[in-house]
Chain A
Amino acid sequence: MYDIKALYEAKSVENAIELMKEHPEAKIIAGGSDVLIKIREGKMAGCELVSIYGLDELRGVSMAEDGTLRIGSLTSFSHITKDPLIKKYIGVLGEAVDMVGGPQIRAIGTIGGNTCNGVTSADSASTLLAWDAIVELNGPEGVRTLPLEEFYLGPGKVDLKSAELQTALLIPKESYENCAGFYIKYGMRNAMEIATTGCSVNVRLSSDKKTLERLRIGFGVAGPVPRRARKTEEEFKGASLEAGLPEKIGDAVLKDVEPRDSWRASKDMRLHLCSTMTERAFIEAVSRCGGEIPEKA
């Protein structure tokens, strides 16, 4: 038995909003793989819950007429990895969420929960951030959207207003077109392990595959919330793919990150990881985009 004070099962998105208005203390439970653990640990014991797990309308991946990819917030990691649209347009997201926990966790964990928990190590977050994902929210004031980057307010804190829930993550066409990426998760073991640091890089190359048209880098555990390496991205826009470029980019990201010491790893180790993972993920992303970085002479 879980120490739950009361549980309300939402019948629809509108009903979920109503229930949250009626019970302002209640917390949303989606797959529960964060919430139920916290109840067991005692951190959330005695809480009231609004369950949205039954809302199939929030599951699945689709494409809008304008080409925007829409990932329903309740879509589980295992279903994201298997989804044909994800495989075709943003394969790296399917790969990143395939590194969460183990198979049973990927069956229950949702991408909405992975972004609403505001956790910096969330495996989907760095990739979603690096692909300029947009968060769709629904609440008493109606639907609103905002960039994922702005959705994060601080560790464990996201911009969810009272009685609001996340309904989808959107990836605009401009963001995924002619673009390919790579995600590296560094952990102490290969499965059932939270990332020590995570790095997701994606690139768009010129048609002759010689120039870096766009570079985007997202990090997990390189700061209090998932973050982008904005300065580096700006600095290397338009750079030509020449020997030594990956190393330069790897060095440059050090001014964009601010990891700290934790029991998992020291700050210095994380700084080293940020550099090295950026370098390696960049090389892979370029190669997936059909480009090649010449060997050093």
Chain B
Amino acid sequence: MSEKQYKLVTCKINGKERSAMVDVRASLTDMLRNDYSLTSVKKGCEVGECGACAVIIDGECYNSCIYLAIWADGKEIETLEGLTGENGELNDIQQAFVDETAIQCGFCSPGFIMEAESILRTGEIYTDEELRKLLSGHLCRCTGYDNILRAVKKAMNERNGKK
């Protein structure tokens, strides 16, 4: 590239208004990790296949590796760091992942948990089959998925006052 091209990107990240000059070639993963040190956003495949980089943008879950950073201008972005309390308290989904041993190496966990957060915010109760479909954009090389499904289901039931 002959001349570097930058754009001022202003967006809300985990509730705070933020601005940075961003290289137009950057993915949203690049921006969140490099400019804001939000390292829960993982670089897995970087081609949209694994979900390790998933974040919530305006309420919907996206793979940030195939989302250009410049598109984030004016958007509201949430990463795993935003779910955690001020003193590092885990949110209900994170706690359920711990309780159900849904984490082994942990590389896929931030993506799965952000997806689960976007799923549970609908306030609906889903069947196992529906949950499997809603979580199908994430790969986990360790757990075999059963514990992850169980954790999401547990958090879903608790939020909806069941059991």
Contacts and interface: CB of A to CB of B under 8 A. Distances in A.
B62 interface: yes
9 contacts: A5-B1, A32-B66, A36-B48, A37-B48, A53-B71, A102-B51, A104-B137, A107-B60, A108-B67
Contact of A104 (B23, B25, B48, B71): B48
A192 B137 contact: yes
Contacts of A41: 47
Nearest to A46: B1
Contact of B5 (A3, A6, A78, A107): A6
Contact of A103 (B1, B2, B68, B137): B137
A47 B2 CA distance: 13
Contacts of B46: 40
B63 A108 contact: yes
Interface string B16-28: 0000000111110
Nearest to B7: A9
Contacts of A40: 46-47
Interface in A1-18: 1-7, 9
A38 to B, nearest CB: 10
Interface in A30-64: 32-33, 36-37, 40-41, 51, 53-54
A2 B25 contact: yes
A266 B2 CA distance: 46
A188 interface: no
B49 A36 contact: no
Q: Which of A7, A36, A41, A102 has the most CB of B within 10 A?
A: A102
Contact of B60 (A5, A78, A190): A78
A212 B62 CA distance: 43
Interface of B: 1-2, 5, 7, 23-27, 30, 46-49, 51, 54, 60-63, 66-68, 70-71, 115, 133-134, 136-138
Contacts of A191: 133, 136-137
Interface residues of A, number: 29
Contact of A36 (B62, B66, B137): B66
B54 A104 contact: yes
Q: A interface, by DSSP: helix, strand, loop or mixed?
A: mixed
Contacts of A1: 23, 25-27, 30
Interface of A: 1-7, 9, 29, 32-33, 36-37, 40-41, 51, 53-54, 78, 101-105, 107-108, 190-192
Contacts of B49: 192
Contacts of A6: 1, 5, 24
Nearest to B54: A104
A134 B70 CA distance: 32
B24 A4 contact: yes
Nearest to A53: B71
A4 B69 CA distance: 13
A101 B26 CA distance: 23
B25 A103 contact: no
A53 B47 CA distance: 18
A239 B60 CA distance: 46
A-B residue pairs, 6 tightest by C-beta: A102-B137, A191-B136, A7-B24, A104-B63, A1-B25, A104-B137
Given A1-B23, A6-B1, A78-B60, A37 B136 contact: no
Given A37-B66, A54-B71, A192-B137, A104 B61 contact: yes
Given A108-B63, A108-B66, A4 B25 contact: yes
